[in-house]
Chains A and B, each alone.
Chain A
Amino acid sequence: GEDVEQSLFLSVREGDSSVINCTYTDSSSTYLYWYKQEPGAGLQLLTYIFSNMDMKQDQRLTVLLNKKDKHLSLRIADTQTGDSAIYFCAGRVSGGYNKLIFGAGTRLAVHP
């Protein structure tokens, strides 16, 4: 089955770019997602990318997908303290029903 892996921690300086990486195993995953979870809060859908795309940009967020290497990344430009959160990568299992397999989450800490 699908397995999704992420590095657990990332620390960046305010104003720098953050890059959060994710690898997945199921090459037939049709959609890949990024969710954000702030402390004590729910999961916020940030963006998603379809598997036939290489890149998707949405304001400060850029998603890159390398399907050959099964590698997904989320770049946050001009990182702010409000971006401090846990970022989850998730793959949608092939076969329908929108079953998501989540990575363990990357805790992003933004410091002045």
Chain B
Amino acid sequence: DTAVSQTPKYLVTQMGNDKSIKCEQNLGHDTMYWYKQDSKKFLKIMFSYNNKELIINETVPNRFSPKSPDKAHLNLHINSLELGDSAVYFCASSQERRNTIYFGEGSWLTVV
């Protein structure tokens, strides 16, 4: 059973489009995250939600909007996609005050 699952795994889309990446975790965790990995493999946190509440919001363009309908889901919606948004987006989850953070398999986004 996949603990943190993301869909889609691959997404190729044109500039200016709006797209969403979905994430679900079945670990019973109360905290979820979105990280971005650029073409040089550098990983950086974008957002974090704890019990559906936004707790980390790094310097990310407001074209990116996370949505957490419940503790097990954290979706990432991106408006007006730009070439520079091409990256791998990783969802992750953890239990607050616990030390292990589990990542999904990643969603490869290519904007053309």
Which residues does A use to contact B, with CB under 8 Å? 30-31, 33, 35, 37, 41-45, 48, 50, 86, 88, 90, 92, 96-100, 102, 104-105
Contact = CB atoms under 8 A, between A and B. Distances in A.
Interface of B: 31, 33, 35, 40-45, 48, 50, 55-56, 90, 92, 94, 96-97, 99-106
Contact of B56 (A35, A43, A99, A102): A99
Contacts of A98: 31, 33, 48, 94, 96, 99, 101
A57 to B, nearest CB: 17
Q: Which of B43, B55, B90, B92 has the most CB of A within 10 A?
A: B43
A76 to B, nearest CB: 19
B57 to A, nearest CB: 11
Given A88-B43, A98-B94, A41 B105 contact: yes
In order of increasing CB-CB distance, the 6 nearest A-B pairs are A42-B105, A43-B103, A102-B43, A42-B106, A98-B94, A105-B41
Given A97-B48, A102-B43, A105-B42, 19 more contacts: A41-B105, A41-B106, A42-B90, A43-B103, A45-B100, A45-B103, A50-B99, A92-B99, A96-B96, A97-B56, A98-B48, A98-B96, A99-B56, A100-B35, A100-B45, A100-B101, A102-B42, A104-B42, A105-B43
